Amino acid sequence: MNVKGLHRTLFFMLFLLILTAMVSLPHSPAFASQSKISEQSIDLLTRTGKAMAEVTAAVKPAIVNISTTRTVKVSGGGDPFFDDPFFRRFFGDQFGRQRQPKEHKSAGLGSGVIVTSDGYIITNSHVIKDADEIKVTLTDKKEYAGKVIGSDPKTEIAVVKIEAKDLPTVSWGNSDSLQVGEVVLAVGNPYGLNQTVTMGIVSALGRANVGIADYEDFIQTDAAINPGNSGGALVNIKGELVGINTAIYTTSGGYQGIGFAIPSNMVKSIMESLIKTGKVVRGWLGVTIQKVTPELAKQFDLKEEAGALVGDIMENSPAEKAGLQRGDIILEYDGKKIEEPYILRNMVANNLPGEVHTALVLRDGKTRKIAITIGELPSDGQQPVETSDVQNVMKGITVQDMSPELAKKLRIPDKIKGVIISDIDDSSMAAGILAQGDVIQEINRKKVADTTTYTDIVSKIKKDESVLLLIYRGGASLFVTLSQK
């Protein structure tokens, strides 16, 4: 038998085997009608689908699109060849101007949630960061100018206000009552495509150390939170707001089944503080805490790896006044077990200054209860002051007040007073001479106490005047001069 004949024989035998198998299966869909879906199943799925559609319809009108424009500076991108001394000898210095930073408009998009009928909207702080203009588009295509009431990058929450009345809202839910496995919907308004809705479950609660914000207590969900959905709503099956969508975990730029939302209880607290005071007032203990590792648990005779180990205590802090000591392990706070340090940090941050709270502390193998009067978290500096309007050598320098926490972080001694440089514009005459983290103690022999005195002194410097600065840098004080080139 030749090769072709062999192939035909094998093919015919295979065909007979398949035909025999199909004939022997009386319920095969090729020869019999499909198995029927029970009425009960159809009814259940129909009611479930209808319920999800009703939840979506109730929530969607309160989800808005937020578009922003901001001014950004980019390098001029001139050819380094122009910096060659030989070239500049013949053509002059005018080519250097091509390398100066240029400004251009950048657009951004995100989502927001209307939470009051008179126009207060919750979104993410990164959505409106540095925005020159904010446009809010409702589901009925009406557009409004948005105004930032306040922003809290530490939690990634911002509040925007539009001038409107009788707006649709989403009712608040209790995020503390969420359970892993509970069904949730993520609703956003990205790219001006009208609302998008994705469904999933609560995958985990209390996610921290994600690297998105300073105060993290995220709801993790597998409901897709795609780019542009930032600031949108995470709602439960009652249509209640249980979280604000913030980010996805991705290694490719696309959705990979892990999304994060800020719990609604945290959001509501931040929102109320921003609306009332324009800032967030947080409770403060004044301690440095760390995780209890297996090695530390063994050293401190702990049966389990839980609690927050006190590594340091700031002078005159609420913790010091209450009698906390280095080496204490805070096991409970207000009766709640402290599994991880971030739990304690978040709980204290949500307390108001002046309130008295109780901590269960392990010290020298014995537990004791300590009452602590909460203080107010010192700011990392008040609103930064940028000298962009002045026309002198200090132009383009941004400074901020020095707080105890910031001084400790930068290892600045208590005796050093002044303002800290937080940014320097590339076009500033101070670029390359001063640096971020420098402390300006004096300007022209005049002491700088805070940003107020700094602004007052800088505003009086003449356009062509040289300046003598006393700064603190790298453990030493030194004089530097700035002058017109």
Can you tell me the mean pLDDT for 101-117? Answer: 77
Q: Give 100's pLDDT tier (boundaries 50, 70, 90).
A: low
pLDDT for residue 212: 58
Structural domains of the chain sorted by starting position, each given as residue range(s) with its CATH number in brackets: 62-161 (2.40.10.10), 175-277 (2.40.10.10), 283-376 (2.30.42.10), 385-482 (2.30.42.10)
241 closest CA partner among 177, 191, 147: 177
Helix (H, G, I), strand (E, B) or coil at 92: coil
**Mean pLDDT of the residues in the chain:** 79
Contact 430, 448 (CB under 8 A): no
Report the pLDDT value the prediction gives residue 32, as an integer from 0 to 100: 44
CA distance 117 to 10: 75
Instruction: Give 473-479 contacts, CB < 8 A, sequence gap 24+.
Output: 473/435, 473/437, 473/438, 473/439, 475/411, 477/416, 477/441
Q: Model confidence over 9-57: pLDDT tens digits?
A: 555 555 555 555 554 545 545 444 456 888 888 888 888 888 888 888 8
For the stretch 325-335, pLDDT in tens is 888 899 999 98
**What is the C-alpha to C-alpha distance for residues 234 and 454, in angstroms, rounded to an integer?**
45
pLDDT attached to residue 388: 56
* CA atoms within 13 A of residue 482's CA, in its CB half-sphere: 26
**Position 85, amino acid:** P
Reported as a single tens digit per residue, the pLDDT across 397-429 is 888 888 776 787 788 888 898 999 988 887 788
Contact 160, 135 (CB under 8 A): no
13 three-class SS: helix
pTM over 0.75: no
| pLDDT tens digits, 260-294 | 888 888 899 889 888 887 778 888 888 888 888 88
Query: Residue 356's pLDDT is what?
Result: 93
- The C-alpha atoms of residue 286 and residue 318 are separated, in whole angstroms, by 6
pLDDT of residue 126: 85
250 confidence band (pLDDT: 50, 70, 90): very low
Report which DSSP code applies to 172: B
Share of residues in the chain with pLDDT > 70 (%): 77
Label residue 3 by pLDDT band (50, 70, 90): very low
Please report the pLDDT score of residue 447 as a whole number: 92
Give the number of other CB atoms < 10 A from CB of residue 192: 11
Span 148-177, mean pLDDT? 88
pLDDT given at position 251: 43
Task: Count CA within 13 A, CB hemisphere, residue 405.
Answer: 13
pLDDT at 472: 93
Confirm if 283 and 350 have CB atoms less than 8 A apart.
Answer: yes
Confidence of residue 442 (pLDDT cuts 50, 70, 90): very high
CA atoms within 13 A on the CB side of 182: 18
Tokens of 236: 């439960």
Compute the C-alpha angle 109/111/117, nearest 5°.
135
Residue 370: per-residue pLDDT: 92
Distance CA 36, CA 167 (A): 47
- Residue 178 vs residue 248, higher pLDDT: 178
DSSP letters, 311-357, are EEE-TT-HHHHHT--TT-EEEEETTEE-SSHHHHHHHHHTSPTT-EE
pLDDT digits (tens, 9 = 90+) for 177-189: 888 888 888 888 8
- The C-alpha atoms of residue 37 and residue 273 are separated, in whole angstroms, by 54
CB 334 within 8 A of CB 300: no
So what's the pLDDT on residue 95?
47
The phi and psi torsions of 463 (rounded to 5 degrees) equal -60, -45
Q: Do the beta carbons of residue 403 and residue 414 sit within 8 Å?
A: no
Q: Are residues 128 and 134 in contact, defined by beta-carbon separation less than 8 angstroms? A: yes
Task: Tell me the average pLDDT across 423-438.
Answer: 86
Range in 121-135, 374-388, 447-461 with the lowest mean pLDDT = 374-388
pLDDT digits 0-9 by tens, 57-72: 888 888 888 888 877 6
pLDDT band at 446 (very low <50, low <70, confident <90, very high): very high
Q: List, in order, residues 6 or more apart from 322 with CB less than 8 Å away.
A: 370, 371, 372, 373
Closest by CA position to 219, among listed 195, 250, 187, 247: 247
What confidence tens digit (pLDDT) does each residue in 460-475 have?
A: 898 888 999 999 998 8
